[in-house]
Chains A and B, each alone.
Chain A
Amino acid sequence: MSVELDVFVGNTTIMDEEVYQLWLDGHTVNDAVKVRMEGGVLDECEASADVLLSDTMDQYRTFQMCERLLYSPAKLANQLLFQIPPHRQAMLIERYYAFDDVFVREVLGKKLSKGTKKDLDDVSAKTGVTLKSCRRQFDNFKRVFKVVEELKGPLVENIRQHFLLSDKLARDYAAIVFFANNRFETGKRKLQYLTFQDFAFCAGQLINNWTVGAVGENNMVEDMDVDLDKEFLQELKELKILITDKDLLDQHKSLVCTALRGKTKAFNEMEANFKNLSRGLVNIAAKLTNTKDVRDFFIDLVEKFIEPCRSDRWTAADMRIYLTHYHNSAHILDTFKHQVVWDRYMGVVKSCIFKMYHD
Chain B
Amino acid sequence: MPGKLKAKIVAGRHLPVMDRASDLTDAFVEVKFGNTTFKTDVCPKSLNPQWNSEWFKFEVDDEDLQDEPLQITVLDHDTYSANDAIGKVYIDIDPLLCSEAASVISGWFPIYDTIHGIRGEINVLVKVDLFNDLNRFRQSSCGVKFFCTTSIPRCYRVAMVHGFVEELVVNEDPEYQWIDRIRTPRASNEARQRLISLMSGELQRKIGLKVLEMGGNAVVGYLQCFDLEGESGLVVRAIGTACTLDKLSSGAAASINTHMHPNTAPASNACNSPSKDGKEPVFTEDLPSSSGPPTPFRALPTTSSSPPPFSPSKPCSRQSSSSDTDLSLTPKTVRPQPVRSRPGMYLCPSSPTLSTDSLPLPGSGSVGCGHGSAPRATTPPPLSSTHSGSSTLRKSVSFSEDLLLAASGMGSGGSAGKEAGPLKTLLRQQTQTALEQREFPFFTLTSFPPGFLVHVGGVVSARSVKLLDRIHNPDEPETRDAWWEEIRQEIKSHAKALGCHAVVGYSESTSICEEVCILSASGTAAILNPRYMRDGCLDIGSSDHRFEEPSPPSCGFCHIPYDELNMPFPAQLTYCYHCRRQKVPDVLFTTIDLPPEAAVTGQGCLIQARLCRLKKKAQGEVNATAISNLLPFMEYELHTQLMNKLKLRSMNALFGLRIQISVGENMLLGLASATGVYLTALPAPGGIQIAGKTPGDLSNEHHILAIQKRINDTIAKNKELYQINPPKLFALDPEVFHGINMELTEEAVGSPIPEPRQRSRLFRSHSESSDELSELDLSHGKKDAFVLEIDDTDAVEDIHSLLTDAPTPTGFYSCNTEIMPGIYNWTSGLQMFTSVRVFRLSNANLTNQGLNKIFTDLCENLLKSLYFKLRSMIPCCLCHLNFTVAVPEEELIQVAVTAVAMTFDKDQSQEKPGDRAMTKGGSENEEQLQFPLELCAESTSANNQPSAKIPGTVSLLTPAAKIYQNHLITIPPAGLQESTNVSSRAPSVDYGSFADRCSTWLELLRLKAHTIRRGSVKTISSSERCSPLPEGRSRSLRSTRSFGGSSVTVVKMTPLSFLPGTRIVKYLGIINMFFIRETTSLREEGGVSGFLHSFIAEVFAMVRAHVAALGGNAVVSYSMKECVFMENPNKNQAQCLINVSGDAVIFVRDTDQEATPAQMNTGQTCNSGTDGAT
Q: Which of A333-350 contact B (CB under 8 A)?
A: none
Assess the A77–B1035 pair: CB atoms within 8 A.
Answer: no
- When A2-B839, A61-B1090 are in contact, do A86 and B1097 touch as well, CB less than 8 Å? no
Complex-state Cα separation, A172 to B742, whole angstroms? 78
- When A1-B854, A9-B1097, A65-B1093 are in contact, do A51 and B865 touch as well, CB less than 8 Å? yes
Partner of B1048, one of A13, A61, A65, A79: A79
Assess the B869–A14 pair: CB atoms within 8 A.
Answer: yes
Assess the B1048–A47 pair: CB atoms within 8 A.
Answer: no
Assess the A85–B1036 pair: CB atoms within 8 A.
Answer: yes
Q: How large is the interface on A (under 10, 10 to 19, 20 to 34, 35 or more residues)?
A: 35 or more
- When A82-B1097, A87-B1035 are in contact, do A57 and B1089 touch as well, CB less than 8 Å? yes
Assess the B1039–A85 pair: CB atoms within 8 A.
Answer: yes
Q: Is A113 an interface residue (CB 8 A)?
A: no
Partner of B1096, one of A3, A9, A12, A79: A9
Assess the A86–B865 pair: CB atoms within 8 A.
Answer: no
Q: Is A193 an interface residue (CB 8 A)?
A: no
Assess the B1088–A5 pair: CB atoms within 8 A.
Answer: yes
Partner of A3, one of B110, B838, B1039, B1051: B838
- When A9-B1096, A55-B869, A85-B1042 are in contact, do A47 and B864 touch as well, CB less than 8 Å? yes
Q: Which of A9-23 contact B (CB under 8 A)?
A: 9-15
Partner of B842, one of A2, A12, A15, A46: A2
Q: Is A321 an interface residue (CB 8 A)?
A: no
Complex-state Cα separation, A111 to B118, whole angstroms? 36
Q: Which residues of A contact B836 (CB under 8 A)?
A: 5-7
Partner of B861, one of A45, A46, A51, A77: A51
Assess the A12–B1036 pair: CB atoms within 8 A.
Answer: yes
A336 to chain B, nearest CB (A): 52
Assess the A45–B867 pair: CB atoms within 8 A.
Answer: yes
Q: Is A291 an interface residue (CB 8 A)?
A: no
- When A51-B864, A65-B1094, A86-B1039 are in contact, do A6 and B1044 touch as well, CB less than 8 Å? no
- By secondary structure, the A interface counts as mixed
Q: Which residues of B contact A8 (CB under 8 A)?
A: 833-835, 865-866, 869
Q: Which residues of B contact A75 (CB under 8 A)?
A: 14
Of B28-36, B813-821, B1099-1107, the stretch lying at the interface with chain A is: B1099-1107
Assess the B809–A45 pair: CB atoms within 8 A.
Answer: yes
Assess the A3–B1050 pair: CB atoms within 8 A.
Answer: no
- When A4-B838, A51-B865, A87-B1039 are in contact, do A77 and B833 touch as well, CB less than 8 Å? no
Partner of A6, one of B118, B831, B1089, B1096: B1089
- Chain B 834-874 interface 0/1 with A at a Cβ cutoff of 8 Å (1 = within): 11111111110000000000100000010011111111000
Q: Which residues of A contact B1051 (CB under 8 A)?
A: 11, 83
Q: Which residues of A contact B1052 (CB under 8 A)?
A: 11
- When A46-B809, A80-B1101, A88-B1036 are in contact, do A4 and B1043 touch as well, CB less than 8 Å? no
Q: Is B704 an interface residue (CB 8 A)?
A: no
Assess the A11–B833 pair: CB atoms within 8 A.
Answer: yes
Assess the A6–B1043 pair: CB atoms within 8 A.
Answer: no
B624 to chain A, nearest CB (A): 29
A352 to chain B, nearest CB (A): 37
Q: Is B326 an interface residue (CB 8 A)?
A: no
B1171 to chain A, nearest CB (A): 27
Q: Is B701 an interface residue (CB 8 A)?
A: no
Q: Is B1125 an interface residue (CB 8 A)?
A: yes
Q: Is A78 an interface residue (CB 8 A)?
A: yes
- By secondary structure, the B interface counts as mixed
Q: Is A311 an interface residue (CB 8 A)?
A: no
Complex-state Cα separation, A81 to B1094, whole angstroms? 9
A80 to chain B, nearest CB (A): 5
Complex-state Cα separation, A259 to B843, whole angstroms? 91
Q: Which of A48-95 contact B (CB under 8 A)?
A: 48, 50-52, 54-55, 57-58, 61-62, 64-65, 75, 77-83, 85-89
B247 to chain A, nearest CB (A): 28
Assess the A85–B1035 pair: CB atoms within 8 A.
Answer: yes
Complex-state Cα separation, A3 to B1092, whole angstroms? 14
- Chain A 262-291 interface 0/1 with B at a Cβ cutoff of 8 Å (1 = within): 000000000000000000000000000000
Assess the B865–A54 pair: CB atoms within 8 A.
Answer: yes
Of all chain A residues, the one with the shortest Cβ separation from B1100 is: A11
Complex-state Cα separation, A8 to B1100, whole angstroms? 12
Complex-state Cα separation, A86 to B894, whole angstroms? 35
Complex-state Cα separation, A78 to B1043, whole angstroms? 11
Assess the A81–B834 pair: CB atoms within 8 A.
Answer: no
Complex-state Cα separation, A87 to B1046, whole angstroms? 11
Interface size of B in residues (CB-CB distance below 8 Å): 65
- When A10-B832, A81-B118 are in contact, do A5 and B1042 touch as well, CB less than 8 Å? no
Q: Which residues of B contact A13 (CB under 8 A)?
A: 1097
Q: Is B297 an interface residue (CB 8 A)?
A: no
Q: Which of B1017-1066 contact A (CB under 8 A)?
A: 1035-1040, 1042-1048, 1050-1053
A61 to chain B, nearest CB (A): 5
Assess the A51–B1092 pair: CB atoms within 8 A.
Answer: no
- When A11-B831, A77-B1045 are in contact, do A55 and B837 touch as well, CB less than 8 Å? no
Assess the B865–A55 pair: CB atoms within 8 A.
Answer: yes
Complex-state Cα separation, A15 to B1086, whole angstroms? 19
Assess the B1089–A5 pair: CB atoms within 8 A.
Answer: yes
Q: Is B892 an interface residue (CB 8 A)?
A: yes
Assess the A5–B832 pair: CB atoms within 8 A.
Answer: no
Q: Which residues of B contact A2 (CB under 8 A)?
A: 839-840, 842
Q: Is B1150 an interface residue (CB 8 A)?
A: no
Q: Which residues of A contact B842 (CB under 8 A)?
A: 1-2
B87 to chain A, nearest CB (A): 13
Assess the B835–A77 pair: CB atoms within 8 A.
Answer: no
A349 to chain B, nearest CB (A): 41
Of all chain A residues, the one with the shortest Cβ separation from B840 is: A4
Partner of A78, one of B837, B894, B1048, B1090: B1048
Q: Is B108 an interface residue (CB 8 A)?
A: yes
Q: Which residues of B contact A15 (CB under 8 A)?
A: 1036
B378 to chain A, nearest CB (A): 33
Assess the B1101–A81 pair: CB atoms within 8 A.
Answer: yes
Q: Is B1098 an interface residue (CB 8 A)?
A: yes
Assess the B831–A10 pair: CB atoms within 8 A.
Answer: yes
A49 to chain B, nearest CB (A): 11
Complex-state Cα separation, A13 to B1100, whole angstroms? 11
Q: Which residues of A contact B110 (CB under 8 A)?
A: 80-81
B682 to chain A, nearest CB (A): 32
Assess the A61–B840 pair: CB atoms within 8 A.
Answer: no
Q: Is B548 an interface residue (CB 8 A)?
A: no
Partner of A5, one of B14, B869, B1050, B1092: B1092
Assess the A86–B1046 pair: CB atoms within 8 A.
Answer: yes
Q: Which residues of A contact B1097 (CB under 8 A)?
A: 9, 13, 65, 81-82
Q: Which residues of A contact B121 (CB under 8 A)?
A: 80
Partner of A86, one of B810, B835, B861, B1043: B1043
B867 to chain A, nearest CB (A): 7
- When A1-B842, A65-B1094, A87-B1035 are in contact, do A78 and B1047 touch as well, CB less than 8 Å? yes
Complex-state Cα separation, A13 to B121, whole angstroms? 20
Complex-state Cα separation, A241 to B984, whole angstroms? 94
Of all chain A residues, the one with the shortest Cβ separation from B1105 is: A80
List, sorted by A's number, 10 A–B pairs whose CB atoms are closer than 8 Å: A4-B838, A7-B837, A8-B869, A9-B1100, A10-B833, A45-B867, A45-B871, A65-B1094, A78-B13, A78-B1048
Residues of B within 8 A of A (CB): 13-14, 108, 110, 118, 121, 809-810, 831-843, 854, 861, 864-871, 892, 894, 1035-1040, 1042-1048, 1050-1053, 1086, 1088-1090, 1092-1094, 1096-1098, 1100-1101, 1104-1105, 1125
Q: Which 6 A-B pairs give the minimum distances between C-beta atoms?
A: A77-B1046, A85-B1039, A5-B838, A10-B833, A9-B1096, A11-B832
Residues of A within 8 A of B (CB): 1-15, 44-48, 50-52, 54-55, 57-58, 61-62, 64-65, 75, 77-83, 85-89
**Given A4-B839, A83-B1050, 8 further pairs, Cβ under 8 A:** A4-B1088, A7-B835, A14-B870, A65-B1093, A79-B14, A81-B1101, A85-B1043, A86-B1039
